[in-house]
Structure 1
Amino acid sequence: MESVLQYVLYLLILVALAIPLGRYISKVMNGEKVVLSRVLAPCERGIYKVLHIDEKEDMSWKKYAGSVIAFSAISLVILTAILMLQKFLPWNPEGIGGMSWHLAFNTSSSFVTNTNWQAYSGESALSYFSQAMGLTVQNFVTPAVGICVLYALIRGFLHLKHKGIGNFWQDMTRSLLYVLIPLSMIVTVLLVSQGVLQNLSGYQTVDLVEPITTEDGTVVTQQVIPMGPQASQVAIKQLGTNGGGYNGVNSASPLENPTPFSNLIEMISLLLIPAALCFSFGRSIKDKKQGRAVFLAMFILLVVSLGIVAYSEQAATPQMSQDGMVDLSTVDQAGGNMEGKETRFGIATSATWAVFTTAASNGSVNSMHDSYTPMGGMIPMLLMQLGEVVFGGVGCGLYGMLGFAILTVFIAGLMVGRTPEYLGKKIEPREMKMAVLVCLATPIGILVGSGIAAALPATADSLNNGGAHGFSELLYAYSSAGGNNGSAFAGFNANTPFLNVSIGLVMLFVRFTPILAILAIAGSMARKNKVAVSAGTLSTTNGMFVFLLIFVVLLIGALSFFPALSLGPIAEQLQSLGL
């Protein structure tokens, strides 16, 4: 019962904070006055003046898309250069050398696509300059890009016979200045108050409380403690659904996540903005019921996923029961599968984090997913494979779900023989083609990438396990990249030239293909007129639509990934049952 109360509490806090934040974000992106306007409005105008931005320009979808791609391409080049040349750059007290070209490309692709997949250990591979000026900067701008694209789509639904869908540079400035930076400052201060490090000091060597004897007989009496600007990166890695940890073990490290309160802050931050954007969507299109319907579909999928993972981890496996480690007759106990989990967090908090981080396109972890039970590990994998639309990343999760909504009304329209409509606009062949591209980009990226990797004999050297679990490690890696998530099973060595390049290409494909398709939909919708609601119009705010939307999301996921999942976690689950 105590665990159930924890799960309910986490969900209630998330919803309670998301509703007012959603209203605030809507006001910001619509140019309305907010509580910070008096302080930040002069800063906003100053940015436009310094950068020569014409905030009154209303871009076509092609120009908006060109701005997104150009900004991201420049970010990719600059970040790659920083990572390869960090040996010669400042703020490097440990004298850490530059990254290899393939690891630098992989890392840059990861952070520019809001994936934050890490094939390295941050505290030993990156300087303070690379962490703060390279990765943390991308942690801010990539979620901002997601918000920009989402609001371009919203304007496409709102505008009537109009070519423009907004101004990318204005959207970027507002989302950074009014939303991401203030929230990150609040979370950073809270984390520092809990003991998360924030400095530019050199690494410190301290004496261990008890000496440790290694397998070869060496006695270790000291440990090196990484310093650096950790709290500021942790704050935006969570809020921006980035997930790239300052330290190699991410938020399982007491340096990033030292207390139960810091764990609560970081865990709620995982889904805070994506959940809030559902309410922003409803307010911005002047129909709050639409936002609530999308939110409800996402929330139901989240709760069901959390329930499966929670039960699986608490019940553990038949083998653990045979060993006397857990009683499978009840799940309300202190036992369960604690392998790979911090004892200070336990199963409930670890399971919640695992579901939240893979529902969002975040990827940060406070436990090792490689040690989860077969079903407990499959659900996080499936959440990524669905396209990260169960709240998903900042902006990109919601516009991905809206792609599924367009597909849903099309299928429903076929059933009743009517031209499908969504938010008062007809859905025609052009929009359908783009929506299908949005929905299928993730399965294509994951299945093609993992299929090629599985066919190469050298990939076996990167696996920590053989058999079904080894395949799960490989599939999880490409699912994480294809879902722009970034989490890992933690048993897969991805730092090889082929894996770095192939995973990097998958991340770029799955990030920018849906963005271009969504902006094309936005441009097409903006040029349309509203159609009158009739008796044959499908309601997109009732329970039936919520059910259909969930069904379509699961249908595409099941059809795309069931064969692959059958070779991995499902086969492993059957083996654990002796079948």
Structure 2
Amino acid sequence: MTFQGWFLILLFVGILLALTRPVGLWLHALYEGRRTPLHVVFGPVERGFYRLSGIDPAAEQGWRRYAVHMLSFNVALLMLTYAILRLQGVLPGNPQGLARLSPDLAFNTAVSFTSNTNWQSYGGESTMSNLSQMLGLTIHNFLSAATGIALAFALFRGFARRSAATIGNFWADMTRITLYLLLPICIAYTLFLIASGVPQTMAGVVDVSTLEGARQSILLGPVASQEAIKMLGTNGGGFFNANSAHPFENPTALTNLVQMLSIFLIGFGLTWTFGKAVGNTRQGWAILSAMVILFLAGVAVTYAQEAAGNPILHQIGVAGGNMEGKEVRFGVAASALFSVVTTAASCGAVNGMLDSFTPLGGMIPLFNMQLGEVVIGGVGAGIYGFLLFAILAVFVAGLMVGRTPEYVGKKIEAREVKLAVLAIAVLPLVILGFSALSSVVPPGLAGPLNKGPHGFSEILYAFTSAVGNNGSAFAGLSANTPYYNGLLGVAMWFGRFFVIVPMLAIAGSLAAKTYTPESAGSFPTTGALWVGLLVGIILILGGLTFLPSLALGPIADHLAMIRGQLF
């Protein structure tokens, strides 16, 4: 590890902390439906959308209606994307003449982008036409991200409102988030990427002459526009198969830093928005403190392991850190930081191949997702997932002080605790169940390219990434098969929507409650003790649930490595 490496890490966190309140203020204005300076530009567009669709933005919805509209919208998008991918060969915007996708791959990809997972069982530049990339995939990057933020707003209203029957209007939330947050930032972001050397063209291929005089075809496309929302919306689906390790997606150290900042930007801001919504910004800072502690701990382990390198290579005279699978223009520190950022959020973009990380260096990205991706989490999904853990933590605290647990003025009763447990239990049940199945059936065993613990890690990582709606891959699993495309598609749908519905039920239950003021017996939820309890609850649940599987995979792989054993 070096001073420069740690300076980059601390600079990264410092910039985000400085931006938390300004971003949170903007998000809070959208949460309340207040006018912003951008209404001069986008206000007519918003009103026109409401008139064309017959939506009254002031007509609020109960949690059931909010959930039905959200699910119906996402199912319709899923079917539209599936149709585009299946008809790709006969649709325009296909300069390379690429064929349509197989039914299982089209299903997997449609579910992947609908659920904000962006898992890719295909090579983007050799599989997807420009039209499929833009209309079939990039549109989901906006709408799935907006869905996550809208759902976070709904839960915030559940905590903030008193004796209310509604939690907002799904369509109004989606429209405002897209027009006044995601779109304007992405326009500026896209221009920055173009100026940095990222292509933005409808051309499919350009032929060039190499230094040796040969001819080479270089694939191009509308990359910058997809890259911007891919990062900001914590989507992660790459235009190119190499994702953010490709120089056309991530050409310089500056673009690498900006991409990492954009992944966390909205997640940081939403913590402050929550505190503002419930009338106590210290609540938001407490949540952010717990998230940052977990994040920095993960960065420290990954950076230390990658900087230490592989002892087997050291024994044969190859000194230094582990540069296998990493881009020289980024180095160990920036690659380690990127890997933790992208898996602490539900982004899934990668600037290095995780399959080539050291076993413990690769375990941290895996463990980040197994915690529910609540360290910062996906836009909206991270904060509402974290609040589910907060409900469990305050329940434990209530048992400690011997009274009904309360959180930000709302009593947490049996209904909320049961729903929170139901939502949190989705991840381990599906991850471990599908990983176990794939470790014994022939179609599952045909996927890993490695044997032993590393091969098991490849299977475990795939289902963890799918259920956690991350989308990053360990890069050693042949997943483009009917078995894996189908099972991973089901896992992605469960991981997204089987968590959302119980969460919305909690929002509706909390909104109907009256406000309970703090008393001498209340457990404080803003200090160091509360932050420690949150961190402890998350680590204990994750550790107890996934430690056996981690012991069979990356931990066993690490022990074999230090004994000089290769699989």
Q: Secondary structure at the match of 2:116?
A: coil
Contact 1:187 1:265 in 2 (8 A): no
The equivalences for 1:322-337 within 5 A come to 322-326=315-319, 335-337=320-322
Q: Deviations over 1:146-170 (max 9, x none)?
A: 1111111111112211111110000
2:407 maps to 1:422: yes
2:293 maps to 1:300: yes
Offset, 1:439: 1.7
Q: Distance in 1 between matches of 2:347 and 2:316?
A: 35
Greater alpha carbon shift after TM alignment, 417-426 vs 362-371: 417-426
What amino acid sits opposite 2:43 in the alignment?
A: A
1:140 counterpart residue number: 142
What amino acid sits opposite 1:110 in the alignment?
A: S
2:476 counterpart residue number: 491
1:27 counterpart residue number: 29
Unaligned runs of 5+ in 2: none
1:48 counterpart residue number: 50
2:270 counterpart residue number: 277
Q: Secondary structure at the match of 2:393?
A: helix
1:289 to 265, 282, 298: 282
2:478 maps to 1:476: no
Q: Deviations over 1:290-334 (max 9, x none)?
A: 0000000001100110011000000012212212323xxxxxxxx
2:158 counterpart residue number: 156
1:57 to 44, 56, 59: 59
Contact 2:437 2:444 in 1 (8 A): no
1:404 counterpart residue number: 389
1:225 counterpart residue number: 218
Q: Secondary structure at the match of 1:455?
A: coil
2:524 to 535, 539, 554: 539
2:437 maps to 1:452: yes
1:561 counterpart residue number: 546
1:267 to 247, 254, 260: 260
Q: Distance in 2 between matches of 1:144 and 1:454?
A: 36
CA-based RMSD = 1.2
What amino acid sits opposite 2:395 in the alignment?
A: F
Offset, 1:22: 1.4
Contact 2:108 2:486 in 1 (8 A): yes
1:320 counterpart residue number: 313
Offset, 1:513: 1.1
2:184 to 164, 182, 185: 182
Contact 1:201 1:228 in 2 (8 A): yes
Q: Measured at CA, do residues 290 and 210 of structure 1 come closer, stay the same or move farther in structure 2, by a change above 3 Å?
A: farther
Count of residues in correspondence between the two structures: 562
What amino acid sits opposite 1:531 in the alignment?
A: T
What amino acid sits opposite 1:66 in the alignment?
A: V
2:491 maps to 1:506: yes
Q: Distance in 2 between matches of 1:393 and 1:277?
A: 11
Q: Distance in 2 between matches of 1:152 and 1:133?
A: 28
1:331 counterpart residue number: none
TM-score, normalised relative to structure 2? 0.97
Q: Deviations over 1:506-555 (max 9, x none)?
A: 00001001110110001101111111211111111111010000000011
2:447 maps to 1:462: yes
Offset, 1:21: 1.1
Q: Deviations over 1:463-509 (max 9, x none)?
A: 12111111111111111101100001111110010100100000000
1:360 counterpart residue number: 345
Contact 1:385 1:482 in 2 (8 A): no
Q: Distance in 2 between matches of 1:324 and 1:306?
A: 27
What amino acid sits opposite 1:188 in the alignment?
A: T
Q: Distance in 1 between matches of 2:315 and 2:204?
A: 49
Q: Distance in 1 between matches of 2:204 and 2:352?
A: 28
What amino acid sits opposite 1:390 in the alignment?
A: V
Offset, 1:210: 4.4
Offset, 1:66: 0.2
The equivalences for 1:81-120 within 5 A come to 81-120=83-122
Offset, 1:28: 1.8
What amino acid sits opposite 2:266 in the alignment?
A: I
Q: Deviations over 1:360-413 (max 9, x none)?
A: 000001100000001000000000011010110000010000000000000111
Contact 2:409 2:515 in 1 (8 A): yes
Q: Deviations over 1:199-223 (max 9, x none)?
A: 1013112223348xxxxxxxxx333
Contact 2:347 2:378 in 1 (8 A): yes
2:236 to 228, 240, 243: 243
1:549 counterpart residue number: 534
1:124 to 123, 126, 130: 126
Contact 2:438 2:445 in 1 (8 A): no
What amino acid sits opposite 2:227 in the alignment?
A: V
What amino acid sits opposite 1:259 in the alignment?
A: T
Unaligned runs of 5+ in 1: 212-220, 327-334
Contact 1:362 1:393 in 2 (8 A): yes
Q: Secondary structure at the match of 1:206?
A: strand
2:248 to 237, 255, 266: 255
Contact 1:305 1:355 in 2 (8 A): yes
Q: Distance in 2 between matches of 1:366 and 1:223?
A: 24
Offset, 1:578: 1.7
Contact 1:114 1:139 in 2 (8 A): yes
Q: Secondary structure at the match of 2:207?
A: strand
Q: Secondary structure at the match of 1:5?
A: helix
1:575 to 539, 560, 563: 560
Identity %: 49
